[in-house]
Amino acid sequence: MRDETHPTDKNTADNRGIGSLLSDAMQHVSALVRGEIDLAKAEARQAMKNAVAGIAMIVAAVVVAICALNVLTVALVAAIADGFEIGTGWASLIVGLIYLVVVWILIAVARNRLKPENLTPSRTARNVADDARAIKESTQHG
């Protein structure tokens, strides 16, 4: 007996295979995009935490600066009361400079945390570039 398959039967099987492959590819791309979005969200959360920490340090620096002004006044009174053998101006200057060094350190750390490169989702950008390169290579070779 002859095999009586119709040419359209083979095309239907090929189309179903291609459809399945396309469906699988779309699912993989969808999963990849979801993963990249999740990574971007995680990096954005971390960047926000860094920004909040930087802002908190700036606020702390302002509080310390205000305290420095108060301490300068108190230092003047203490220097006079305790009878240091240095002028009251010098004693106040020394205390004020110590607090200004603390303020400078806090601001330097805060500025470092608020730099744009510390707030950008760099891992996501790298991963997206790697994924795009991999997709481009797979479509060129396959």
Residues in the chain: 142
Q: Is residue 64 part of a domain?
A: yes
Report pLDDT for 5. Answer: 52
Q: Is residue 141 part of a domain?
A: no
Q: Is residue 1 part of a domain?
A: no
pLDDT digits (tens, 9 = 90+) for 64-112: 999 888 887 787 668 656 866 887 777 777 777 877 898 999 999 999 9
Amino acid at 88: T
Q: Is residue 139 part of a domain?
A: no
Q: Is residue 23 part of a domain?
A: yes
Q: Which residue has the tokens 């240095």?
A: 86
How far is it, in rounded angstroms, from Cα 64 to Cα 91? 18
Q: Is residue 11 part of a domain?
A: yes
In this prediction the pTM is 0.43
Q: State the Rg of the chain over Cα.
A: 33
Q: Is residue 140 part of a domain?
A: no
- Please tell me which residue, 8 or 90, carries the higher pLDDT value: 90
Q: Is residue 35 part of a domain?
A: yes
Report pLDDT for 12. Answer: 52
Domain encompassing residue 127:
7-134
Number of domains within the chain: 1
